Amino acid sequence: MLGLAGWVTFWAFFAVFVFLGFYGARWRRGNLNLLHEWALAGRRLGIALAWFLIGADLYTAYTFVAVPSLLFAKGAYAFFAVPYVALTIAIAMLLMTILWDRSRERGYITAADFVQDQFNSVTLALLVALTGIVAELPYIALQIDGMRAVLEVMMAGMSSATTVSEVALVVAFIILAAFTYTSGLRGSALGAVLKDVLIWLGVISLIVIVPLSINGGFSTAFSIAAQHKLPTGVETLKPVFLAAYESTFIGSALALYLYPHAVNGSLSAESRKALRYSTALLPIYGIGLALLALLGILVYGSPSALKLLSEFPASERACWRYLPWPPPPFRPGSLAWCSWAYSSGAWCPPP
């Protein structure tokens, strides 16, 4: 699918990204044998870097693959991702600065340290740490799965695309693990800056170019989408999905800052003030997410994009497995929502 220019661009950015990841070890040098230097970048991230790092957490396979594809396949319900951002940040404004204060005072590096000290229980701390690790596994798995989806589109039409993308995934994961091991959070923070610049460039150019390339722009795309009768509504959300919409964004917002990587990003801020301001500005990041989500509708305005999509099996197009939640037993949201998701076929059966 990619032309020569596409591949050259891809490899150039890939090289820069890998360089930044390893260069992180030397950046704002600290003794990386100390856990807080490695895991929290020495707690030295200012407003901008903390904003980039935490904001980049919002931009994953979930943003680029799950939300637009959910909007494409199921309609307005997918826009829960927007209130989700606002609500999450309101919660973080309240809680994360308090956790930051305590952590600086008493040297906590993870949520488990806090729990151990606060409740004086090693068992509880151990359980919190284990829950964090277990919760990250499906999270990481869906990043890999999202990458696989992207690679498949990049190589659509090539022979042995499946094998190549499997190998590419393994290589990508090894590089990531290697630079995380040598550079710690510094590598991720530098990578996040590059990633964010690319994301913003991508979002802004897509949201300008795509509507312009469709005759009639958004109006056309929305009216064609309306003809497809997406199950949760196109121009508005069907009222019956109100409970689903709200319970999904409330449940997700309560969950996000329980993930170890979100706690970790927050604690790496250089001051409580830097964390408070960077957190306050995070909803701006959500605007890009909302624009990307709309691409799920814009697809309907482009016959060539629809044709490309039709070459992939329907089950690949909108999957709950890309959503940023722990596995079903831990999943927030109402029972009604779960059963709806299941019965409507939105839930992907295991392959």
Q: Is 108 in the site for another protein (CB under 8 A)?
A: no
Q: Which of 257, 253, 269, 258 minimizes the C-alpha distance to 100? A: 269
Site residue total, another protein (CB under 8 A): 46
- Can you tell me which of 29, 106, 228, 273 binds another protein, judged by CB under 8 A? 273
| Smallest separation (angstroms) from another protein to the CB of 300 | 12
Q: Is 242 in the site for another protein (CB under 8 A)?
A: yes
Residues 84 and 48: their CA atoms lie apart, in Å, by: 22
Q: Is 245 in the site for another protein (CB under 8 A)?
A: yes
Place of tokens 């197009």: 317
| Smallest separation (angstroms) from another protein to the CB of 143 | 24
| Smallest separation (angstroms) from another protein to the CB of 200 | 15
Q: Identify which range of 2-10, 33-41, 56-64, 83-91 contacts another protein by CB under 8 A.
A: 83-91
Dihedral sign from CA coordinates of 147, 249, 245, 351: positive
Q: Which two tokens mark 31?
A: 């003794």
| Smallest separation (angstroms) from another protein to the CB of 217 | 5
Long-range contacts of 101-104 (CB under 8 A, 24+ apart): 101/272, 103/267, 104/43, 104/272
Q: Is 290 in the site for another protein (CB under 8 A)?
A: yes
3-state class (DSSP) for residue 302: coil
Q: Which two tokens mark 39?
A: 């895991």
Integer-rounded Cα Rg, in Å, for the chain is 21
80 vs 322 by CB, closer to another protein: 80
Q: Is 282 in the site for another protein (CB under 8 A)?
A: yes
- Can you tell me which of 216, 303, 327, 328 binds another protein, judged by CB under 8 A? 216
CB 332 within 8 A of CB 325: yes
| Smallest separation (angstroms) from another protein to the CB of 270 | 12
Neighbouring C-alpha atoms within 13 Å toward the C-beta of 273: 0
- Can you tell me which of 283, 309, 321, 334 binds another protein, judged by CB under 8 A? 283
Q: Is 294 in the site for another protein (CB under 8 A)?
A: yes
Q: Which of 323, 307, 278, 310 minimizes the C-alpha distance to 96? A: 278
Q: Which two tokens mark 19?
A: 């360089």
CB 334 within 8 A of CB 106: no
Which residues sit at the interface with another protein, rule CB under 8 A?
Answer: 76, 79, 82-83, 85-87, 89-90, 93-94, 97-98, 211, 216-222, 235-237, 239, 242, 245-246, 249-250, 271-273, 276-277, 279-284, 286-287, 290-291, 294
